[in-house]
Amino acid sequence: MNAGREKIGFVGLGHMGGNMASRYLSAGYSVYGEARSSEGLEDLLDEGLSWCDTPREVAQSADIVITSIPNDDVLREIASRDDGIQAGLEDGKVWVDMSTVSPRASREVAEQVRATGAQMLDAPVSGSVPQVQSGTLTIMVGGDKQAYDRVEAVLEVLGSPTHIGDNGQGLVLKLAINISLAVQMLALSEGLLLAERDGVDTKLALEVMTESPIGSPMLKARVPLILDSSGEAWFDVDLMRKDIRLALQAAEELHVALPSAHAADEVLTRADELGYGHRDIAALREVLRSSDGSN
């Protein structure tokens, strides 16, 4: 099938889902969408988004349904309610869930989807809104290989997809990556605080640190947010804390020790207690400063 003729459906049109839908519209796809409210989606509607009233209507209208939602509870709800996605699926359709949820919940829903004749893939991403907009997301896909082959070209509109293995394994790898993201941000914040405390200029310290071997693309990109984390979050503390908790849950099931993830969880929990939940993870530097009494 010509991937360019696939009709794309979206359930969830927040920061990530909305920008993904916009990218497909710009690429000439027919895009159907549903969210809890159409408020704030005027630009997407002007770009040509076809509004649907329910997830079921999206699934009925589209060949490939894409979701980007916050957690297990929402995944199960939009999947199984009377007007949910499963009610609109049929043989030949593919549901691509690009959320970061628990591998266990994703596998449960994928099994239910197979009963409709459709396939569900877990396809979490590494990257945030800037990477969506530039089409440079890293996409890790778990599930049926034939279903992956069917949607590979469609996912390439958003970035670089890789088939990882069975259902849930894309999510496991995503959680593995996010452990490193949280720990990198925490380690940089600790090092920066140490340098600042001895009088090193903050901007100079960040410049040297991020140009050194520790300067990952994620850390380099966040320098402006470290200096001023009051703006729009790319990946907020609450979402990172959720992902670390999912990683710890998966690790418990697999009998894997994750000492650095536990340390990150402790600081992320403290960040939430201090009111940083909706701030970008770059705010961990401020959290550490607050925790040790510095200004």
The pair of three-digit structure tokens given for residue 292, joined into one six-digit string: 């040790």
174 is catalytic: yes
Q: Are strands 125-126 and 137-142 parallel, antiparallel or unpaired?
A: antiparallel
| Amino acid present at 40 | G
Cα dihedral 28→39→54→120 (10° resolution): 60
Q: Which of 7, 93, 145, 174 is catalytic?
A: 174
Distances (CA, A) of 221 to 217, 218, 252: 6, 5, 32
Per the rule left: phi > 0, alpha: psi between -120 and 50, beta: everything else, 293 is left
* Active-site residue set: 174
